[in-house]
Chain A
Amino acid sequence: DAGITQSPRYKITETGRQVTLMCHQTWSHSYMFWYRQDLGHGLRLIYYSAAADITDKGEVPDGYVVSRSKTENFPLTLESATRSQTSVYFCASSPRDRGSYEQYFGPGTRLTVT
């Protein structure tokens, strides 16, 4: 029972490069989310998806692109990485059960942009 996984767990990239962070869940949850967490701060929502082919912006979407062609996958792409995007990225998924929306998080990807 893998649950929710993220890859890679650690990534170092250069400014201007494109990088894609992967997220995969085995629960068939309808909702999926991407958050970033900067050192010493809480989580901020980047994008979320209510179902395959349905995505919407969160609090800090600029510089990021998402897609969701399959229910189980929700990749996050940084089109042209900047140093300000150095952060830990968490993916989460959520079922829709009687109107409650608890989220289950992956282990995170630590991204450093040099």
Chain B
Amino acid sequence: DAKTTQPTSMDCAEGRAANLPCNHSTISGNEYVYWYRQIHSQGPQYIIHGLKNNETNEMASLIITEDRKSSTLILPHATLRDTAVYYCIVGGETSGSRLTFGEGTQLTVNP
């Protein structure tokens, strides 16, 4: 599975956009980029995923670079409830649907 690199922590002001970067330079052609988050002591929550194109849903937007070596998760209007650890994961059919969770980025949204 491709490995990902994320900053350990980030801060964001409430109401502003939170942009969380992820590097995945060894991603293979049929691997997806997934984003999950984990709010303290809860189970991880699926946010969004993409293959090549940018994606948007009710929670967030995912921007994937043309070479697919990096991506950015965007929370357009961060709230205090978005404070969580955010995991960028690469995987999919080549890994038998297994996703490997790294250490993630601790996002703190400040009032």
Contact = CB atoms under 8 A, between A and B. Distances in A.
A41 B87 CA distance: 12
A41 B38 CA distance: 12
Interface string A66-89: 000000000000000000000010
Contacts, number: 63
Contacts of A88: 41
B46 A42 contact: no
B103 interface: yes
Contacts of B103: 41-42
Interface majority SS (helix, strand, loop, mixed), chain A: strand
A100 B34 CA distance: 9
Given A90-B43, A108-B43, A44 B101 contact: yes
A107 interface: yes
| B interface, size bucket | 20 to 34
B92 interface: yes
B98 A108 contact: no
Contact of B42 (A35, A48, A102, A108): A108
Interface residues of A, number: 28
Contact of A101 (B41, B43, B91, B102): B91
Contacts of A90: 43-44
Contacts of A44: 101
Contact of A94 (B41, B43, B45, B97): B97
Nearest to B42: A107
B100 interface: yes
Interface string B5-41: 0000000000000000000000000101010100001
Given A101-B32, A105-B46, 8 more contacts: A41-B103, A42-B101, A43-B44, A50-B97, A58-B98, A90-B44, A99-B92, A108-B41
Interface of B: 30, 32, 34, 36, 41-46, 49, 51, 87, 91-93, 96-104
